[in-house]
Structure 1
């Protein structure tokens, strides 16, 4: 990968109230875009000017010698000075966008750009952010959602700055639990389950009535804070074994779903017993409509199998087939290995909406608790 060959320093934590991580990159490779990509690989984002130079105080990393510009997340191709030369200047404010910010150095050395500062707290599209998609974002980057105590030790916000307004971030302690990282009504660090119960908007996409506005259908969610996870397959979870739920494109196949799970250390597709230990989907409950998820169950024919996690209440004959395995009741699927439509089960646009959900399980712990 590009980043492994050009990084000079990585993940050096700067000890401030705000957690900032410093990396360095070959100046001929470092651009605003490659810096943003580097931070995203760490499940973080480029720090803003205010996070680096709060109130134009000395930068959080200290004052460097000479001319040193770092890319910032306020605007595309914007940079902040962290060296003694014009300390805490924003490049766009004083000089406009730098030509060197989006390219190499034309054979020169570019000594004035080499440092990257990443901050926690990524903002995703709130309308489509759920507890599951947020956790997927972290896991795909080798981390996991933070626990409450990692974000708010002793009830004080630590990993990110307080955001103006009402903003909730999902936490790993309990499925569909969230923590307030905004300043709305003085409730920063409120634990949602403890204060209000499980949020109905935490596992759904679309508008979040009555909190939606004309500009934003879900203005209070979208922030995701990830924490390092050195051994994600054995981390304690709210279930008898570690099971993770993802929503993938409906073009996925059994093979691509398994590859997705196996790309995560120590994980594979779940079995039907892990997903439905007591006849009800453990992690999601019964979903509305016809929904199948791939499973790793073995059969003598070696057929790729799926289990039903939905309930198509519109047709009474399907009402009791929750947790049915497809091969046992209907034989092999015609659509399970097909990355296009699924015949009469496709929607009006030909999209195979009956397959979107994927469950990945830790293979170190397969037992089922009674």
Structure 2
């Protein structure tokens, strides 16, 4: 009887410790690693900005850097976790992507080494089998920017919902000088057309994307107050979603 119990315990441990690909699909499931970066499966339709927002949603988390995922050990890049079979790219800081599978012979292959740092498939919501994983690391930027937080709340965002989100965090909307320093958003320039609500004037917005080279431009002086900023139908629009909140 004791021998049978021992065999059952051994088999149970083998099942628990084995990698189950099916369990890492559809929802964001976490591979816990308290000693360093944490791996999640988010969605195969993720793009760079959504991955950054996903990490930020945990609080004090951000996308990992290439060096954090692939540190140099004895002069060679080595991936911090076990290699996932096949072709798998994950977003890293500086709007780049790194291969963590064995498709290119070995992991730690940056997309920018051979192609562009921000591929088209990494900037849209088209689903691909080679994307889906996200690595999040501790965010050290709050130490540098203690008064500013940056979150993604979705495409239904309006001026009022943005303001309410900040209020729930016991903060307020940031003003333009807190969002943009030296004509650049403090959390980096977003891809394309992206507006965020600002403090001080109702339904005023500032551009944090690179559309039309209008980064850090106010909406009102150029285009007037946007009707989409006060819409009440709950509709999705592609050029809103991010919120800057300040103390």
Normalising by structure 1, report the TM-score.
Answer: 0.47
Shift of 1:177: 1.3
Residue 257 of structure 1: which of 162, 165, 176 is its match? 162
Does residue 187 in structure 1 map to residue 93 in structure 2? no
**Counterparts of 1:87 and 1:225 in 2: how far apart (Å)?**
32
Q: How many matched pairs?
A: 218
Residue 196 of structure 2: which of 293, 306, 313 is its match? 293
Give the direction of change, closer, same or farther, for the CA distance of 1:166–1:260 in structure 2 (3 Å limit): farther
Aligned CA RMSD, in angstroms, stands at 4.3
Shift of 1:198: 0.9
Give the direction of change, closer, same or farther, for the CA distance of 1:266–1:178 in structure 2 (3 Å limit): farther
Does residue 234 in structure 1 map to residue 156 in structure 2? no
Shift of 1:193: 2.4
Residue aligning to 2:19: none
Contact preservation (8 Å) 1:257, 1:294? yes
Gaps of 5+ in 2: 16-29
1:64-75 paired onto structure 2 within 5 Å: none
Shift of 1:254: 1.7
Does residue 135 in structure 1 map to residue 52 in structure 2? yes
Residue aligning to 1:211: none
Contact preservation (8 Å) 1:168, 1:178? yes
Give the direction of change, closer, same or farther, for the CA distance of 1:245–1:202 in structure 2 (3 Å limit): farther
**4+ aligned runs moved over 6 Å, structure 1:** 262-267, 309-312, 319-322
Residue aligning to 2:120: 201
Residue aligning to 1:163: 84
Contact preservation (8 Å) 2:173, 2:198? no
Matched residue of 1:328: which SS? helix
Shift of 1:226: 1.3
Gaps of 5+ in 1: 1-65, 67-82, 94-115, 208-216, 313-318, 342-350, 365-370
After superposition, give the CA deviation of every residue in 1:106-160 in whole Å (9 maximum; x if it has no partner): xxxxxxxxxx983542112222x111111111111122222222222221111x3
Matched residue of 1:170: which SS? strand
Give the direction of change, closer, same or farther, for the CA distance of 1:331–1:191 in structure 2 (3 Å limit): closer
Matched residue of 1:250: which SS? coil
